[in-house]
Amino acid sequence: MRQHDLVVIGAGSGNSVVDDSFAGLDVAIVEEKWFGGTCLNAGCIPSKMFAYAAHVARTVGEAGTYDVGAELLGVRWRAMRDRVFARLDAEREEGRRGRREADSVTVYEGSARFTGPRELRIECADGFVDIGARQIVIAAGGRPLVPPPVLESTLPYETSDTVMRIEAPPRRLAVLGGGYIAAELAEVFAAAGSSVVIVEKEDRLLGPQDETVAERFTELVRSRYDLRLGREVTAVGGRPGALRLTLDDASTLEADMLLVAAGRVPNSDRLNLEAAGVATHDDGRVVVDAYQRTTAEGVFALGDICTPVPLKHVANREAQVVAHNLRH
């Protein structure tokens, strides 16, 4: 079993933990999916680039309100998508290449699970690798929550991880969820020409936000979308491209595509944390103290896998805290 001084699980904000001050150590980074994490690849950055284009489209479409003559000819979806991800995919690859070429960093591309205190087994494309470390940082992030009725249907669905890379916007889009991810992506697809219906179990959209903002936003978008508030999906039927959603009031709706944006869950359940002695909260978040230490000696955590505020700038600040405490 190879021993490292430090292993970081996750190359999102976890990647920023390792700066030049760690150059004298034997460091390893484990990444299962993509360098740059959710923010760069499927979250904050691409969604804001899409949302700005949607804002431009809506501004042109409503130009007559301001006595400006303009005509919206449509959103060129594939061109917009390719422009966004050509840039971001290049940044992801640059980050990956930089780490692989660093003399003091070993990159393991695969999924990690604890096999004991500060010991990991990494499943890579060509087999398994067992490693240990004096210190470990858990920065494995989170993923979209997919409710059982959607999973049980075995029919296709999209999440924020995938929907911005589709080939074309659907004619009818059903959005499951009413938080900020659902609201932002609904606006993107509405601007691209999709007819949008939102199914949300609460009585208003943006529920966790300031109540005045949430109430006003809900009223504003009633004219843009078909809102099914206070409702939950109990079954998904039909066939790919022609879905039928049944709600808990026995009503149904039809859609060409389903976007699941019903929240996110931490990836802690994929790491076999019990073997490492790392405790979690009831919702799956890793328990940390004020120094980002877990309940296992020498193991720290940061970002969406432990914080109650899953935002990129929070994870970046926690990465700074972890970096300092690892060295001191």
What domains are defined for the chain? 2-41+80-143+265-327 (3.50.50.60), 146-262 (3.50.50.60)
- The average pLDDT across 126-135 equals 97
* pLDDT tens, residue by residue, 173-201: 999 999 999 999 999 999 999 999 999 99
Tens of pLDDT, residues 65-119 = 999 999 999 999 999 999 999 999 999 999 999 999 998 899 999 999 999 999 9
Reported as a pLDDT band with limits 50, 70 and 90, residue 54 is very high
- Of 162, 187, 23, the closest CA to residue 103 belongs to 23
pLDDT at 208: 87
Per-residue pLDDT of 288-303, as tens digits, reads: 999 999 999 999 999 9
> pLDDT tens, 194-248?
999 999 999 999 998 999 999 999 999 999 999 999 999 999 999 999 999 999 9
The pLDDT value recorded for residue 21 is 93
E runs forming strands in the chain: 2-9, 27-31, 105-116, 119-124, 127-138, 142-144, 172-176, 195-200, 226-229, 233-239, 242-247, 252-255, 257-260, 264-266, 299-301
- Residue of 196, 171, 168 whose CA lies nearest to 261: 196
Q: What's the token pair of residue 188? A: 């993107």
Is residue 314 predicted with pLDDT exceeding 90?
A: yes
